Amino acid sequence: MRRLAAAGTVIVVDSEWPSFEFRRRRASAGALGCMNGRANLGKLRDGPAIPLDAWGDLAR
């Protein structure tokens, strides 16, 4: 089944109650890959979003 699914074949297994489909998974684009090309980053300022002095003891 792995070889068939890797080649693009969808395998359907029918039984009395549940049916199962086996197919190749698409390659993951990563954790934020779904946002690829959608974020407008042109207006971000340089430096951290929260200044270090606002972090207090956590900045150390």
Give the tens place of pLDDT for each residue, 4-56. Answer: 888 889 989 898 888 888 888 877 767 767 777 777 777 777 878 888 888 88
Q: Which two tokens stand for residue 5?
A: 């699914």
- Domain tally for the chain? 1
Would 36 be classed as within a structural domain? no
Would 21 be classed as within a structural domain? yes
Domain that holds residue 9: 1-26
Would 10 be classed as within a structural domain? yes
pTM confidence score? 0.37
Would 5 be classed as within a structural domain? yes
> What is the distance between the alpha carbons of residues 20 and 10, in angstroms, rounded to a whole number?
10
> What is the distance between the alpha carbons of residues 35 and 29, in angstroms, rounded to a whole number?
9
Task: Specify the pLDDT at position 24.
Answer: 85
Q: Which element (helix H / strand E) includes 13? A: strand 11-13
Would 20 be classed as within a structural domain? yes
> What is the distance between the alpha carbons of residues 29 and 50, in angstroms, rounded to a whole number?
28
For residue 3, what pLDDT band results from cuts at 50, 70 and 90? confident
Would 19 be classed as within a structural domain? yes
| Count of all residues that appear for the chain in the document | 60
